[in-house]
Structure 1
């Protein structure tokens, strides 16, 4: 088995609920099992997906270099943060979406079909 075939086999094992056509270098996620895509997703380099809650991708989604998708957040109250509390909310990304380089998608965000999230932008809803 060549190096690329081994890499793809590992991606399929890490992301059992997602079809990923291409994954760049330095991909990272929390669990992998909470990432869902029924059709292929293309991911660039240095993509991070914090999948404490489900992260769902629509059809024909492109995730460019340096994108962070975080379904995990922390409480605003300092006492709860000190106690180690965390919160997780699902992220939903519609069909034909492009997440441009360096953008961040936060917990609970819903990105409608056909959206293009510009480089460096932060999506909160």
Structure 2
């Protein structure tokens, strides 16, 4: 029985090498860029308009969420956020794979969340193929300004990530972690 070959989007979401220049992905990216342009250049008084744009952009978003422009992402539709999300100025979410943000997640300014990554081999990189691994952030998480969350990472609930940290490994529940590379500094009494 012949199986239908995977689309580039299906490969992308399966953390397999894919071509981001694919027609479907290019169209999705352009649609997201148009929504982001409207969002990022909206007036501060246009709160309802901003909420409507984010609702169209994200795969799902809970109630009582605030995202401060400018905000950037690749597709938007792969971002799934719970209630009470707060995203400060100048954050980037490269959502080439899914990004799940729990309830009560706070992102400081310039936080960067990267599902996308490239092959280490120069020959593979030159092929134009990329990869992307999902990211999951639990409930009640605060990520300090300028932190970078790398592909495939899970951050547990009730955890704080210090400003400027580079998270390259999973971080468990109930800890304060910081540094480059990010490491557990102390366990928290929750």
TM-score bin (small chain): over 0.9
**Structure 2 CA distance for aligned equivalents of residues 53 and 43 of structure 1:** 19
Structure with the largest fraction of strand: 1
The answer to whether 1:38 aligns with 2:91 is: no
Gaps of 5+ in 2: 1-44, 170-190
Gaps of 5+ in 1: none
Aligned to 2:65: 21
**Structure 1 CA distance for aligned equivalents of residues 116 and 95 of structure 2:** 7
Greater Rg by CA: 2
Could you say what the CA RMSD is over the residues aligned between the two structures, in angstroms? 1.2
Aligned residues, how many?
Answer: 124
**Does 1 or 2 have the higher relative contact order (CA < 8 Å, sep 6+)?**
1
Q: Which moved more, 1:14-23 or 1:4-13?
A: 14-23
1:110 alignment partner, one of 150, 154, 159: 154
Per the alignment, in what secondary structure is the counterpart of residue 82 of structure 2?
A: strand
Per the alignment, in what secondary structure is the counterpart of residue 75 of structure 2?
A: coil
Aligned to 1:11: 54
Q: Which moved more, 1:53-62 or 1:34-43?
A: 34-43
- Deviation of 1:72 (Å): 0.5
1:123 alignment partner, one of 147, 153, 167: 167
Aligned to 1:75: 119
Per the alignment, in what secondary structure is the counterpart of residue 125 of structure 2?
A: helix
Structure with the largest fraction of helix: 2
- Deviation of 1:4 (Å): 2.0
